[in-house]
Amino acid sequence: MNLWHLIFQAGLVAKITLLLLLFMSISTWAVIFTKWRQFKEASRGLKNLTNMAEKSSSCQELASKLRQYKKTAGWNIARYLLGELVRLRQEGALPEKKELFALWLEMFIKRLNRYLNVAREREISNLKEGLSFLAITGNSAPFIGLFGTVWGIMTAFHQIGLKGSASLATVAPGIAEALIATALGLFAAIPASMAYNYFAARLENLEARLQELGEVIILLIEKEFMHEIMEEE
């Protein structure tokens, strides 16, 4: 007796339960492969972007190379920070008195850090998509499977009551439904739970690296301003 035959021969409640678990299992593996690919690309791209930022000698050099990383994790962080620098220069908001420059620069760096926090959270939000489904599946699939198990056993007892005997032919369909529901529940929940924990750890690592990228760019901006003020002196 194969799985599809069992599902289509089951009662309405058992059929809905088994199909739901099958859907959750298939969807779980689809999410796992999608997120694995997304995290792999994000990690590689972020590493390359950070290396490029560390090797850049000026903000202009960094901005000129940024376009090739447009679809890379961290691109928005670099764009926001460098965009704020461009906007500042266009507005001519630099202090005229050198005595105020240190205070102004400190306030500007704080503003850049706020931009960094916003941009980082947006990047993390994009990477989080799909993880909630893994969490829901990991937590709920065992209980849905347990419900299917109980329902299958109830079906088996109901058949015994109708036929007045406990032969294998009488109880086999209900017991089979119960065991299949248990198996499908675990088959959906175990990989979902493991994948969620794995991606959650990867997400923490990527968040730290996004923060590192932002700090590298902010240091580059600060270095550029300090170089300019030193030249004026």
pLDDT band at 32 (very low <50, low <70, confident <90, very high): very high
What does the pLDDT look like over 70-119, one tens digit per residue? 878 888 888 888 888 888 777 665 666 666 677 777 888 888 899 899 98
Mean pLDDT, the chain, integer: 82
pTM, two decimals, is 0.80
- CA-to-CA separations, 213 to 108, 133, 209, in angstroms, rounded: 18, 29, 6
pLDDT band at 9 (very low <50, low <70, confident <90, very high): low
Q: What is the pLDDT of residue 103?
A: 76
What does the pLDDT look like over 133-171, one tens digit per residue? 999 999 999 998 888 888 777 766 666 666 655 555 555
Q: What is the pLDDT of residue 24?
A: 92
Q: In the 8-state DSSP scheme, what is residue 90? A: H
Give the range among 7-11, 36-40, 74-78 with minimum mean pLDDT: 7-11
Q: What is the pLDDT of residue 149?
A: 81
Q: Which residue has the higher pLDDT, 53 or 225?
A: 53
DSSP 175-233: HHHHHHHHHHHHHHHHHHHHHHHHHHHHHHHHHHHHHHHHHHHHHHHHHHHHHHHHHH-
Those residues with Cβ within 8 angstroms of residue 182's Cβ, 6 or more apart along the chain or in another chain: 145, 146, 148, 149
Rounded-to-integer distance, Cα 199 and Cα 37, Å: 11
What share of the chain in percent tops pLDDT 90? 30
Q: What is the pLDDT of residue 198?
A: 95
